[in-house]
Amino acid sequence: MRPLARRAASLLSPRAHPPLVAVELGSGAGVEARFLAEQGFDVHGYDSDPSVGPAMARLARTLPIRHTTADLAQIDVLPAADLILSCATLPFVPRTAFSTVWSTVRDALRPGGVVAVDLFGDRDDWTSTDGTFLARAEVLALLDGLEIVELSEEEREGRSFAGPKHWHTYRVLARRP
């Protein structure tokens, strides 16, 4: 379970009627979607990988989870949400599509809602790949008009599936006033 999901959920007080709505972008097999549903959220998960669909469908049999297989770059509108969570996914959206995706996220966030995302920085080793890598000032610009709950930036030597890697990441939690 990603700590970002736990922290984001802790910023909201789930209610039964109507339940709070969470959108998860890049759900993977649904670990965080499951956690959020068990916390009382209605969850809308999105992932471009069709192979995660069956796992999400299994979760949806017993939990309030709906899943859509889609490329985020192709989504024009998201459900109005109290929480928008995206762990280790938005950096893989191509730079050309990122600002549209981010506008869609901002438009879906309800007043009082929380957005919690991982982003990659512009000194990350993967900057030559087709993703989105942001300078701190660009991250701050994305958050303009939101209340920043947490903006932590980390640079470290570590590993990826491809071997040693310099990681430059941001962890962002912000609330719409």
Strands 21-25 and 42-47: parallel
- Residue 26 or residue 113: which is nearer to ligand SAM going by CB? 26
Supply 38's token pair: 């068990």
- Residue 32 or residue 42: which is nearer to ligand SAM going by CB? 32
Choose, by CB under 6 A, the member of 1, 10, 38, 49 that binds ligand SAM.
49
Contacts 24+ apart (CB under 8 A), 141-144: 142/102, 143/172, 143/174
Handedness of CA 46, 80, 85, 32 (dihedral sign): negative
Residue at token pair 């309800």: 110
Judged by CB under 6 A, does residue 81 bind ligand SAM? no
- Residue 97 or residue 149: which is nearer to ligand SAM going by CB? 97
- Residue 13 or residue 51: which is nearer to ligand SAM going by CB? 51
> Which segments of 55-162 are extended strands (E)?
65-69, 81-86, 109-121, 133-134, 147-160
Judged by CB under 6 A, does residue 22 bind ligand SAM? no
Judged by CB under 6 A, does residue 132 bind ligand SAM? no
Binding mask 29-48 for ligand SAM (x = CB under 6 A): -----------------xxx
Which of 156, 78, 81, 77 minimizes the C-alpha distance to 121? 156
Q: How far, in Å, CA of 139 to CA of 37, rounded?
A: 29
Choose, by CB under 6 A, the member of 21, 36, 87, 116 that binds ligand SAM.
87
Choose, by CB under 6 A, the member of 71, 122, 138, 150 that binds ligand SAM.
71
Choose, by CB under 6 A, the member of 28, 45, 64, 121 that binds ligand SAM.
28
| DSSP β-bridge partners for residue 24 | 45, 85
Binding site for ligand SAM (CB under 6 A): 2, 26, 28, 46-49, 52, 71-73, 87-89, 92-93
